[in-house]
Amino acid sequence: MNKIIDRSIDLGPYWPQEDDDLIICRCEEVTKGEIRKAVHEGMVTLTEIRRYLRTGMGLCQGQTCAKLVKNIVARELKIAPNELESAVSRAPARPVEMRVLANEVITGGENHE
Amino acid sequence: MKRVELIVIGGGPAGLSAAIEAAKTGMDVVVFDENAKPGGQLFKQIHKFFGSKEHKAKIRGYKIGQELLAEAQETGVKVVLKATVIGIYEGKEVTVMIGDAIEHYKADTIIVATGASENMVTFPGWTLPGVIGAGAAQTMMNLHGVRPGQKVLMLGSGNVGLVVSYQLLQAGCEVVALVDAAKQVGGYGVHAAKLARCGVNFYLSHTIVKAEGEEQVTGVTIGAVDQNWKVIPGSEKQFEVDTICLAVGLSPMSQLLKVAGCKMIDDPKRGGTVPTVNQYGETSVNGIFAAGDVSGIEEASSAMIEGRIAGAAAAYALGYLTKEAFEMKFKNSEDALNALRQGMFGPENKGRKDLTMTEEGILLSQSLLKKGYLAEPEVTAFPGVKTKIKGIHPVIECTQNIPCNPCQDACVKGCIKIGDHITALPIVGEDSACSGCGMCVAACSGQAIFLVDENTETGYANITIPYEFLPLPEKGELGKALDRSGTAVCQAEIVGIKSAKAMDHTNLLTMKVPANMAMTARFYKAMG
């Protein structure tokens, strides 16, 4: 969270690649090309990419694509993947329906704090 | 809000072990697991484990799972299933989704043992039905009794890829190829050898170019890769398959720890984003521990020990263990863990490609690393292989420094020696007093021990092999003997079948082959 990313680096122009139409985030159907383009448009942290494209926001919550997205962004930025901070994790850590999230079991008074 | 002394998140090998260790001291422990059955991955691991007795070596994974569950029940651990922990907040507050409601807990200590998830790789067609994780295939076969497909291509030659490929064969699938972009087999050589002698072809330095099919996978194209991992044009090969299994590594499921505010690092050697932990598994947040794959990808044996350490540490933190008792427990566990982490597959050597010799100074088999099987001239270099011995004797084709020693314990005659150094290669003495009981054959988790009688009086050799396929052949049946590469080399007659409870489903087949095939024939295939 404390890493500072240099946003002034010139990434050069965005050149299309042969496999740009490959789906990376299956839940939200985001392609490799869209992710690469997003980097050139200034989205350089994984949290920014997630908010911009919704990668990892679907049913699997990034369980499948998080690493793939990280690798694509890192390659575009010409850095090692582990130099990139993973996107923020926050509760609920699993997809939860709103009606469930709002339905808290209230236990008897003796257990209350 | 309910208050619990210890909440364990995840009921796999690490979580259950942690819960047991803590509950033994009298602590009040709850395990939450999001699955319908506890045990994590153990119940789909139908193979025998490596290690020594204390690591539950030569016991099949699902039996270890049963043992852990029984122990958990005895010690009074409360296991709540279909319970998904969705958040950890300040002050160790935990929210759990159970059914269609959220329950709120406050813990004094938390052990996170959420394990790992499978990695994926992308190629055109990777989203087609039929492309699945190797772990998913294992779940289908071994938990639900469903064959994932008929013809399967496996990507990844690590232990998961090798073990699951073998289990696919056991389930009656055809494994058309085992592909890995690396130059050499990543997992244990003995696991690779098991596949090779069943006729599975290894394609190292190859990768998947594309999966074919409209509605589902109908085929796959692979190609050789150069030093820059680029496919060499013209090297493509096509296979007709209905399933592609991906065994390309695991990532720790560490999100909850991150939610809880633990300091995290991205460590490729440990599989991805993991918490920083001390020697007891405690994270940067006081009283929150991590154990098992979530803190670094290893295997179930080390996860269980890490769990025990974290469980004891949690008990010590709350005053349920004295300092002396805790330190003793920790020392014992640490020794067991260190024993497992030795050898050429230990975390320190992980990913090393420059190892050329065993600890004993024997050249590693290049054929094993490239094709999955030992070349015949290489075999005799190893101390478990002695030829020209009169009468029946064990031939141990164990050629890598794996932390494992059940073969030594199995032989009551003392023919097999490993010594105290658990990764040492087994030695078969020249003056072997082998009685042919076959317990070593059945005890070897790597199925790497054979009993050989090089020359019976009739000019034939008898080879006893471990056999874990069904149906078993019948005595007197004629078939083909296969060599280490899975090539049929001669006729074989089944002259003995031994199945005993102590052998735990590893049957011993004795086949009669011409005497000159004694060091060649290593597998049996029924005719027709």
Tell me how long chain B is: 528
- Smallest Cα–Cα separation from B344: which of B336, B352, B333? B352
| Gap from A65 CA to chain B (nearest CA, Å) | 8
H or E element that contains B337: helix B323-340
Question: Domain B120-246 in CATH: superfamily?
Answer: FAD/NAD(P)-binding domain (3.50.50.60)
Tell me which residue in A89, A107, A113 faces B255 most closely, judged by beta carbons. Answer: A89
Asked if B122 and A68 come within 8 Å (Cβ–Cβ), the reply is yes
| Gap from B64 CA to chain A (nearest CA, Å) | 28
| Gap from B506 CA to chain A (nearest CA, Å) | 36
| Gap from A22 CA to chain B (nearest CA, Å) | 7
Q: Is residue A95 part of a domain?
A: no
Rounded average pLDDT over B413-427: 93
β-pairing verdict for B478-482 and B116-118: unpaired
**pTM for this prediction:** 0.95
pLDDT per residue as tens digits for the range B277-305: 999 999 999 999 999 999 999 999 999 99
- Asked if residue B35 lies in contact with residue B81, where contact means CB atoms within 8 angstroms, the answer is yes
Interface residue B86 vs chain A (CB under 8 A): yes
Cα separation, B274 vs B302, whole angstroms:
16
Q: How crowded is the C-beta side of B431, counted as CA atoms within 13 Å?
A: 0
H or E element that contains B515: none
Asked if B272 and A67 come within 8 Å (Cβ–Cβ), the reply is yes
- Asked if residue B492 lies in contact with residue B524, where contact means CB atoms within 8 angstroms, the answer is yes
From A3-7, A93-97, B197-201, B264-268, the region with the lowest mean pLDDT: A3-7
pLDDT per residue as tens digits for the range B226-256: 999 999 999 999 999 999 999 999 999 999 9
Interface residue A60 vs chain B (CB under 8 A): no
Interface residue A24 vs chain B (CB under 8 A): yes
With 0-12 / 13-18 / 19 or more C-beta atoms within 10 angstroms meaning exposed / middle / buried, residue B339 is buried
The tally of domains found in chain A comes to 1
Interface residue B83 vs chain A (CB under 8 A): no
Q: Which residue has the tokens 């090692």?
A: A80
Distances (CA, A) of B273 to A20, A84, B122, B287: 27, 11, 21, 20
* Full DSSP string of B18-61: HHHHHHTTT--EEEE-SSSSSSGGGGG--SBP-B-GGGTTTSBH
Interface residue A3 vs chain B (CB under 8 A): no
For testing the chain B interface, which of A47, A100, A113 should be mutated: the one with the most B CBs within 10 Å?
A100
Q: How confident is the model at residue B528 (pLDDT cuts 50, 70, 90)?
A: low
Asked if B86 and A93 come within 8 Å (Cβ–Cβ), the reply is yes
CATH number of the domain that A81 lies in? Answer: 1.10.10.1100
pLDDT tens for chain A, 113 residues long, are: 456 777 888 899 999 999 999 999 999 999 999 999 999 999 999 999 999 999 999 999 999 999 999 999 999 999 999 889 889 999 999 999 999 999 998 875 544 44
Interface residue B120 vs chain A (CB under 8 A): yes
Second CATH level (architecture) for the domain B2-117+250-340:
3-Layer(bba) Sandwich (3.50)
Tell me which residues of chain A, numbers 78 to 97, contact chain B at a CB-CB cutoff of 8 Å: 81-82, 84, 86, 88-94, 96-97
pLDDT per residue as tens digits for the range B360-391: 999 999 999 999 999 999 999 999 999 888 89
Cα separation, B377 vs B177, whole angstroms:
25
Structural domain containing residue A68: 1-89
- Asked if residue B151 lies in contact with residue B174, where contact means CB atoms within 8 angstroms, the answer is yes
B302 SS3 class: helix
Nearest CA in chain B to A93: B86
Order of strands across the sheet with B488-498? Answer: B392-396, B449-453, B460-467, B507-514, B488-498, B478-482, B523-526
Asked if A92 and B87 come within 8 Å (Cβ–Cβ), the reply is yes
ipTM comes to 0.91
Residue A3 has what pLDDT? 64
- Asked if residue A53 lies in contact with residue A25, where contact means CB atoms within 8 angstroms, the answer is yes
From A103-112, B35-44, B306-315, the region with the lowest mean pLDDT: A103-112
Nearest CA in chain B to A65: B120
Nearest CA in chain B to A63: B117
Rounded average pLDDT over B514-524: 97
Asked if A100 and B117 come within 8 Å (Cβ–Cβ), the reply is no
Evaluate if residue B1 carries a pLDDT over 90: no
Interface residue A63 vs chain B (CB under 8 A): yes
Q: Is residue A104 part of a domain?
A: no
Cα separation, B525 vs B32, whole angstroms:
46
Asked if B95 and A92 come within 8 Å (Cβ–Cβ), the reply is yes
- Counting runs of H as helices and runs of E as strands, what totals does chain A give? 4, 2
Q: Is residue A78 part of a domain?
A: yes
| Gap from A107 CA to chain B (nearest CA, Å) | 6
- Smallest Cα–Cα separation from B50: which of B190, B178, B168, B186? B190
Q: Is residue A73 part of a domain?
A: yes
- A-B C-beta contacts closer than 8 Å: 94
Tell me which residue in A93, A97, A111 faces B256 most closely, judged by beta carbons. Answer: A93
Asked if B102 and A91 come within 8 Å (Cβ–Cβ), the reply is no
